[in-house]
Amino acid sequence: MHTYDHDPGAHSFGDEAVDELSDALGVSPAQIFKTLIVRAPDGTLAVAVLPVPFRLSTKTFAATVGWAKVVMADRIEAERSTGYVLGGISPVGQRKTLRTVVDESALEWPRVLCSGGRRGLEIDLDPRDLVRVTDALVGAIATH
């Protein structure tokens, strides 16, 4: 577990984690992962876990889980489903079990960091453990 002082005025929680932790821990920004909640047209939610510096390819994500398309879930439905506040949504320990996809780049690293369930708290773990504990699919869901 790694902590840092969260700035309440921060607009990008992932960028804040990168700024606070990459140099301090000697990790690449691409080792720090964000957790996004997406929604299928029928309202079903799912979890995307990808490196902070990258964007989610919604088209690839949808194809990976076998859906026609996905859009970003709104803050209220993401918080209600996961039990976490935006900027502190962890891929582990969510209130409801959602289908999860971890970007394949995670497996290139001996360790990755992801939210520990609150702003300013990151979990440092083996990416294979992240995939295992979230029962995730692995796919190329990140794009530049």
Q: Quickly list DSSP for 58-94.
A: HHHHHHHHT-S--EEPPHHHHHHHHSS-TT---SSS-
The rounded distance, in Å, linking the Cα atoms of 9 and 141 is 29
Q: Which of 5-9, 14-18, 137-141 has the highest mean pLDDT?
A: 137-141
User: Predicted confidence band at 4 (pLDDT cuts at 50, 70, 90)?
Assistant: confident
Higher-confidence position of 29 and 6:
29
Per the CB < 8 A criterion, the answer to whether 30 and 48 are in contact is: no
> What is the length of the chain?
144
pLDDT, mean of residues 60-84: 97
Domains assigned to the chain: 2-143 (3.90.960.10)
Per the CB < 8 A criterion, the answer to whether 38 and 91 are in contact is: no
The rounded distance, in Å, linking the Cα atoms of 65 and 13 is 26
Q: Which of 95, 137, 91 is nearest to 116 (CA)?
A: 91
Q: What is the pLDDT of residue 96?
A: 92
Q: What single DSSP character describes residue 74? A: P
Per the CB < 8 A criterion, the answer to whether 30 and 53 are in contact is: yes
Per the CB < 8 A criterion, the answer to whether 141 and 60 are in contact is: yes
